[in-house]
């Protein structure tokens, strides 16, 4: 098991725990390889299920620039199929940040979790 893989799993586990701490069930697909059968790109690292809101399909990354356009597009396609919200979570200077794919603005993850009941998480296209 490579060091990069372990670091990624640690980030994903931390994010998963944050969701659970806020009362939002969150699951990690096997080897973080969630995606469509037969697809070469499997961008779904986590799936969060806020009550009464669209499912969150999450890609966790060390840096925002490390996620390719192909990964973002695949994540958005999968989210569209299940009326979900494609979410990119990445590490910033002092916190984790998130970006809904299809929107231009970034949010601090803790703020998103606190406001999730009030937010409409449907991305703008």
Per-chain mean pLDDT for the chain: 79
For residues 13 and 37, what is the distance between their CA atoms, to the nearest angstrom?
24
Q: Hey, what are 40's tokens?
A: 């070469």
pLDDT score at 124: 38
What percent of the chain has pLDDT above 90? 14
Residues 44-79 pLDDT 10s: 899 999 888 889 999 998 887 888 899 899 899 988
- For the domain bounded by 3-115, which CATH number is listed? 3.40.1350.10
Residue ranges per structural domain of the chain: 3-115
Using the predicted structure, report yes or no on whether residue 104 has a pLDDT greater than 70. Answer: no
Segment 15-24, tens digit of pLDDT: 999 888 888 8
């Amino acid at each position: 098991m490579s060091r990069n893989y372990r670091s990624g799993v640690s980030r994903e586990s931390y994010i998963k725990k944050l969701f659970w701490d806020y009362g939002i069930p969150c699951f990690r697909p096997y080897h973080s390889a969630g995606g469509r059968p037969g697809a070469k790109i499997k961008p779904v690292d986590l799936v969060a299920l806020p009550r009464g809101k669209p499912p969150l399909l999450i890609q966790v990354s060390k840096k925002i620039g490390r996620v390719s356009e192909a990964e973002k597009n695949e994540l958005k396609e999968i989210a569209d199929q299940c009326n979900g919200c494609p979410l990119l979570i990445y590490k910033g200077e002092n916190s984790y940040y998130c970006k809904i794919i299809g929107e231009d603005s970034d949010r601090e993850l803790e703020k998103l979790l606190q406001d999730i009941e009030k937010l409409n998480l449907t991305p703008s296209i």
